[in-house]
């Protein structure tokens, strides 16, 4: 690893990490825009993740629920990168994770839920679009597997949706504002495994740089924010993130 990078991050006491799909690929969850990504292999699959299409078309909803009924995230375990971030927090460094992922692996690795900001929601719960009801997603998927392929809310008959932000939906303003505050107060901002193509989450990099925070990008493919970064690492995430965390804890 670059000696200048190690010197810059050694002994950092406050860090924020923006994590994307690339941090979970080693756990068996495919990313979206990489060479073997979900959108790369089947571009039409994105239609099921568009809010307008999801609400308007029962066939789209059926495709969506089939996708999540067999999703790899239900079987996935945290990998070395997730564990390294949790371990860094355990070593006394103030760690906050801002994640675009909905898989919950940061929490399962041992990072306290209050230290993980799920920018795009979570697949672990499902909500009704017509009333305040929420349900554990496995309960809804059990209905899907038993033949109810477009499950409706048992309380009001409304359309059910995973607690995730679909294309065409706005991020929660309070969550986004909290993310910006976390970044501006950190000494180091590391973007890990994100294509940095989805806004407004990706623009958090700009927030960090303007606040004078050191930006490090860790991603196997180029991103739109590489030129703003103090350091860009194309190395294997499961290898380099533990190395970064060890340097920060040193």
| Cβ atoms 190, 244 nearer than 8 A | yes
Annotated active-site residue 71? The verdict is no
Q: Which of 71, 82, 106, 120 is labelled catalytic?
A: 120
Pull the structure tokens for residue 36: 């073997």
Location of structure tokens 């990504």: 37
Alpha-carbon distances of 24 from 180, 203, 206, 213, 233, rounded to whole Å: 23, 21, 24, 25, 17
Q: How far is residue 212's CA from residue 31's CA, in Å, rounded to a whole number?
A: 30
SS3 146: coil
Residue that is written with structure tokens 């080693």 in the block: 26
Q: Are strands 121-128 and 160-164 parallel, antiparallel or unpaired?
A: antiparallel
- The catalytic residues are 120
């Amino acid at each position: 690893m670059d000696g200048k990078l190690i010197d810059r991050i050694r002994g950092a006491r406050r860090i924020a990490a923006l994590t994307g799909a690339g941090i979970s690929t080693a756990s068996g969850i495919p990313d979206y825009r990489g060479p073997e990504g979900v959108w790369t292999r089947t571009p039409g699959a994105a239609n099921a993740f568009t809010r307008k299409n999801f609400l308007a078309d029962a066939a789209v909803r059926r495709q969506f629920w089939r996708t999540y009924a067999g999703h790899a995230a239900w079987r996935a375990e945290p990998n070395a990168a997730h564990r390294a971030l949790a371990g860094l927090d355990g070593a006394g460094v103030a760690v906050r994770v801002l994640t675009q992922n909905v898989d919950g692996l940061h929490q399962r690795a041992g990072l306290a839920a209050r230290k993980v900001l799920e920018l795009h929601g979570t697949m672990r719960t499902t909500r009704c679009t017509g009333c305040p009801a929420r349900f554990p997603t496995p309960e809804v998927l059990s209905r899907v597997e038993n033949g109810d392929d477009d499950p409706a809310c048992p309380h009001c008959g409304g359309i059910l949706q995973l607690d995730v932000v679909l294309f065409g939906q706005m991020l929660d303003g309070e969550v986004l504002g909290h993310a910006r505050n976390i970044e501006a107060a950190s000494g180091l901002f590391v973007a890990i495994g994100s294509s940095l193509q989805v806004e407004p989450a990706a623009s958090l990099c700009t927030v960090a740089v303007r606040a004078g925070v050191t930006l490090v990008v860790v991603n196997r493919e180029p991103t739109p924010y590489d030129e703003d970064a103090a350091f860009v690492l194309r190395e294997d995430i499961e290898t380099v993130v533990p190395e970064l965390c060890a340097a920060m804890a040193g």
